[in-house]
Structure 1
Amino acid sequence: MRDPGLNTWTYYAPVTAGGDVPPPMPGDALSDPSVEGLLSAGLACWPVGAAWGTPDGMAAGDDTGLARFTRAVLAPFVDLYARAWRLVVESTAGTMGDSLPEWEADHGLPDACTSVDQSTAGRRQAVQARVRGTGVITPLDFVRLAHDRGFEIAIEEPALFECGFSECGGEHTLGDAREEAYWIVHVSNIAVDYFVVGESECGFDPLFATSGLDRLQCLFRGLYPGWTQPVYEIDEELPPFAHDWLTGLDSGGERFFPRALLDGGSSARLSGIL
């Protein structure tokens, strides 16, 4: 529900109360079998009789020559069952393994939004984030998607002052109703390199440069609703306290605001937001 005095904030929260923990892996006796585990079933497939080591219906022993031969016959089936089960399990992005290259090909990875981490774990994380990104609708979905890619963000939805609803002295500001199409992505724990007098070169080095923000922008660019426009703000920590900003444009024309100052005296606002 909208607050009459404060903007709407969305912070990261796991899907379940216990965290983003995948469910236990399903399985049965044939998902990871052993030769000894299949031996009794294999011996039961042979004919019964004295010639087969089972006179008068006696059970076949596991130390006979027939048992050793049965073990050799069962060995390929053990590998077959285990391999077939792994392929069935890999039908989901959360449990894929050997099929990782096929998943990447299906989802067009790696791409410009992919992290520089191209280890197996990093590639699997990129595929999982791409699959989860197909269902992004709410601000919390965007926050969780960014979290999956290693970003710590919070989303602020500014509200314009509305007579009969908004409170005087609150965060709701005057302006055109179309300005509510903007939403602010607060990004923290991201590296910012500033222009340093005596070290940086005028006309060559920018006033500030970020590392990794372009990947977050690339990730969101194809997902956010077309009638909205995200604005990126770099904070030293979340939630943001101050409003002393330097304004800039990135290479894609999207606005973002690196934090220049933290106002410790504004921390009382945090209790109202949360």
Structure 2
Amino acid sequence: MASGLDTYQNALIGLLPIGDCWPKEPDSELGKLMGGIAEEFTRIDERAADLLDESHPSSANELFKEWESQYGLPDACSGIDPSFQERLGALIQSYKMQGGQSREFFIEVAAAMGYVITITEYKQLRYQYSYGDLFGGQDWAFTWQVNAKSVNRKKRLYGQ
């Protein structure tokens, strides 16, 4: 299988005009020139692949500090001199916690902190509701309650 450099070199040679003054062999002087140009295309291609790796905090290397600053990390909860793995865990946790509003989201956040919770949802009083349902006035239409069942204080937020 041809390398990226060979692929670009062959593609550039293939784009040359037809004629005797345009030799198509990779080891000709013109072929070597196309090989030099192909090196730059290969380098750009590799950097584009690196950029894709940097687009998610779990695989970021060069942009790790920028990812941390976007999420306000390290913060006071990070402790004194956290290791790279602890910083990465905190960053991924912060990344995952963005924007959730479902019951499952809040249950998972509580679980990450060591709590086992349930959520009780209330509804506005309406005619024909079943007896025993939790309901109240209009203020209760979007009200919910978190019920904490137990806590595991030894488990840290970042899972270490």
Instruction: Establish whether TM, by shorter chain, passes 0.5.
Output: yes
* Alignment partners' CA distance in 1, 2:19 and 2:146: 83
Give the alignment partner of residue 99 of structure 1, picking from 42, 47, 63: 63
In structure 2, what is the equivalent of residue 118 of structure 1?
A: 83
Please give the residue correspondences for 1:203-242 in structure 2 after superposition, counting only pairs within 5 Å.
Answer: 212=156, 215=157
* Alignment partners' CA distance in 1, 2:32 and 2:39: 11
| Alpha-carbon offset, residue 101 of structure 1 | 1.2
The structure-2 alpha-carbon separation of the partners of 1:139 and 1:153, relative to structure 1 and needing over 3 Å to count, comes to farther
In structure 2, what is the equivalent of residue 137 of structure 1?
A: 101
| Alpha-carbon offset, residue 96 of structure 1 | 3.6
- Give deviations 1:186-218, integer Å, cap 9, x for gaps: 344x54xxxxxxxxxxxxxxxxxxx74xx58xx
State how many pairs are aligned: 137
Matched residue type, 1:82? E
Matched residue type, 2:116? A
In structure 2, what is the equivalent of residue 40 of structure 1?
A: 10
Give the alignment partner of residue 51 of structure 1, picking from 21, 26, 29: 21
* Alignment partners' CA distance in 1, 2:119 and 2:108: 16
Higher RCO by CA contacts (8 Å cutoff, separation 6 or greater): 1
Contact 2:117-2:147 at 8 Å conserved across structures: yes
In structure 2, what is the equivalent of residue 109 of structure 1?
A: 73
* Alignment partners' CA distance in 2, 1:45 and 1:185: 70
- Stretches of structure 1 that go unaligned for 5 or more consecutive residues are 1-32, 54-59, 167-179, 192-210, 217-274
Matched residue type, 2:12? G
Contact 1:43-1:70 at 8 Å conserved across structures: yes
Q: TM-score, normalised by structure 1?
A: 0.40
| Alpha-carbon offset, residue 35 of structure 1 | 0.2
Matched residue type, 2:87? R
In structure 1, what is the equivalent of residue 132 of structure 2?
A: 165
- Stretches of structure 2 that go unaligned for 5 or more consecutive residues are 122-130, 134-143
Give the alignment partner of residue 117 of structure 2, picking from 149, 155, 165: 155
Q: Determine if the alignment matches structure 1 residue 128 to structure 2 residue 84.
A: no
The structure-2 alpha-carbon separation of the partners of 1:37 and 1:108, relative to structure 1 and needing over 3 Å to count, comes to same
Instruction: Specify the SS of the correspondent of 2:148.
Output: strand
Contact 2:110-2:116 at 8 Å conserved across structures: no
The structure-2 alpha-carbon separation of the partners of 1:187 and 1:43, relative to structure 1 and needing over 3 Å to count, comes to farther
Q: When you count helix as a share of all residues, which structure comes out higher?
A: 2
Instruction: Specify the SS of the correspondent of 2:21.
Output: helix
Percentage identity across paired residues of the two chains: 21
* Alignment partners' CA distance in 1, 2:149 and 2:82: 24
The structure-2 alpha-carbon separation of the partners of 1:136 and 1:50, relative to structure 1 and needing over 3 Å to count, comes to same
The structure-2 alpha-carbon separation of the partners of 1:83 and 1:185, relative to structure 1 and needing over 3 Å to count, comes to farther
The structure-2 alpha-carbon separation of the partners of 1:106 and 1:113, relative to structure 1 and needing over 3 Å to count, comes to same
The structure-2 alpha-carbon separation of the partners of 1:77 and 1:109, relative to structure 1 and needing over 3 Å to count, comes to same
In structure 2, what is the equivalent of residue 62 of structure 1?
A: 26
* Alignment partners' CA distance in 2, 1:87 and 1:101: 15
